[in-house]
């Protein structure tokens, strides 16, 4: 006897649903690059290159990567030497200019007006998010207080936003740093996606979109259970 065939529910699509990428699991695997990086930091902290420090650094790296496995970051781009040099040169220029501005603020009169702002990045890569955050944080006058991987949003604490347009200028600066990073080490597809996202942002400030606010009801408790006419919004009672 053949089992009865069940009919699909009308609310469930019968086609193949697209796969939704869930949270990336952090598997405890051997990560040689992370181990070597931790070992180098360990040797630098001890300020002495010796066999014992190198071995201890490798052991610490193995312990850290197995106890706290790092998420895998896919890199599909390619390094462009000229653009990497331009990225480094602009970073040095921003570092000098920001240091001079902080010095003027520290020695000048008046009170500083600080602010925490969010910047919506145009790429969705954890690698570019990390590099952009590091480059921005190393420049005096701005500190990255939070980074959201799920939405690629950086939250920065700005030292002084008293002048008009300072917040938007800071956002544009972060997006410019991200653009230089992607153009330096990104793939052609990633650069094209960055350009398309830049074209879709008319003001170029990378504002974090806020959820729409629902207008409050004039009489929220008046006839709560009575049906209303969707065309007029009035009660049918």
pLDDT tens-digit readout, 7-27:
444 443 333 333 333 344 556
Q: How far is CA 174 from CA 84, 171, 225, in A?
A: 17, 5, 50
Average pLDDT over residues 180-207: 86
Token duo for residue 26: 């952090």
pLDDT tens-digit readout, 128-169:
998 999 999 988 888 899 999 888 999 999 887 878 888 888
Average pLDDT over residues 208-229: 51
pLDDT value at 216 more than 70 = no
| CA–CA dist 111, 93 (Å, integer) | 26
**Entry pTM:** 0.63
Confidence (pLDDT) at 25? 52
Q: Which of 151, 125, 139, 143 is nearest to 177 (CA)?
A: 139
CA 16 to chain CA centroid, Å, is 32
Where in the chain are the domains?
32-67, 81-200
pLDDT value at 181 more than 90 = yes
Give the pLDDT band of residue 210 (cuts 50, 70, 90): low
| CA–CA dist 41, 56 (Å, integer) | 11
Give every strand in the sheet of 142-148, ordered side by side: 115-120, 153-158, 142-148
- 12-16, 76-80, 104-108: lowest mean pLDDT where? 12-16
């Amino acid at each position: 006897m053949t089992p009865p065939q069940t009919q699909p529910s009308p609310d469930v699509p019968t086609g193949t649903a697209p796969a939704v990428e869930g949270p990336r699991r952090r598997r405890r695997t051997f990560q040689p690059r992370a181990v070597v990086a931790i070992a180098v930091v360990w040797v630098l902290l001890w300020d002495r290159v010796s066999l014992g420090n190198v071995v201890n650094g490798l052991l610490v790296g193995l312990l850290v990567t197995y106890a706290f496995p790092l998420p895998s970051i896919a890199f599909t781009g390619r390094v462009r030497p000229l653009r990497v040099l331009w990225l480094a040169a602009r970073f040095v220029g921003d570092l000098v200019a920001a240091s001079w501005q902080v010095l003027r603020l520290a020695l000048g009169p008046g009170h500083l007006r600080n602010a925490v702002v969010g910047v919506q990045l145009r790429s969705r890569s954890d690698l570019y998010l990390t590099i952009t955050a590091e480059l921005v944080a190393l420049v005096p006058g701005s500190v990255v207080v939070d980074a959201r991987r799920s939405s690629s949003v950086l939250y920065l604490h700005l030292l002084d936003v008293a002048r008009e347009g300072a917040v938007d200028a800071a956002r544009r600066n972060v997006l410019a740093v991200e653009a230089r990073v992607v153009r330096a080490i990104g793939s052609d597809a990633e650069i094209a996606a960055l350009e398309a996202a830049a074209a879709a942002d008319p003001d170029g400030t990378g504002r974090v979109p806020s959820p729409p606010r629902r207008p409050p009801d004039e009489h929220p408790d008046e006839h709560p259970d009575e049906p209303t006419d969707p065309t007029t919004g009035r009660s049918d009672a």
